[in-house]
Structure 1
Amino acid sequence: MLLVNGLDDQNWPSVECADEIARTMSAAGKGDLVTRLHYPDTGHLIEPPFSPHFRATRFKTAIEKQKVILLWGGQTKPHSDAQEDSWRKILSFLQHHLYSRETPKARM
């Protein structure tokens, strides 16, 4: 399990949720299956590299048509750096954990 957190997430308590996941996995004897990435001054949406960074989004709710500002957090430069770093680490994690190193045996 790979958990990627922005430490300035202003949308969701993602660090606290990741802490709880890590504690639960450790209590189950599976703490070694958790990999965590933390990025200071980074907000909620750590997307693939070169995605635009928004500290907040304005929109209208669907039903009441109220104007709402949704906070994401983060600073532009650290957030962009985290996008690049986490993307490399995500791809490496997936390569390591999802792709078999063994050649499949032919079925008879």
Structure 2
Amino acid sequence: TSTLLHPSALNLRTDLSPVFKCFLSRVVTCAGKNRRLKQAKEEAQAEIEQYRLQREKEFKTKEAAALGSHGNSAVEVDRDTAEKMNRIQASYRSNREAVLTELLRCICDIQPEFHANYRVAG
């Protein structure tokens, strides 16, 4: 597109004033700068998008690793909970009779006695 804007490509008359020729050359230069700026901006956008995709991929990888280890810890917690429940139930089964016997003894074997602060009136 820069060849279309160049004064020689426009078949302009050669008797144009030097001021006008200078103006046209600046317009062509400005258009070239704008084109280069636009191209640089597009390249920067493409590079930013590529970087963003790369970082997003790294994040997804780390997230999957973290969630995978979290899943393992959930399995470990479930296993520990089941193990503790088994120990509690075994303790209940082994001590049940002794606890019931002690409770019944305390309830049934009553030894009546006076309270320490009791005073006989009279």
What is the TM-score when the length of structure 1 is the normalising length? 0.27
Larger radius of gyration: 2
Higher strand proportion (structure 1 or 2): 1
What is the TM-score when the length of structure 2 is the normalising length? 0.24
Higher helix proportion (structure 1 or 2): 2
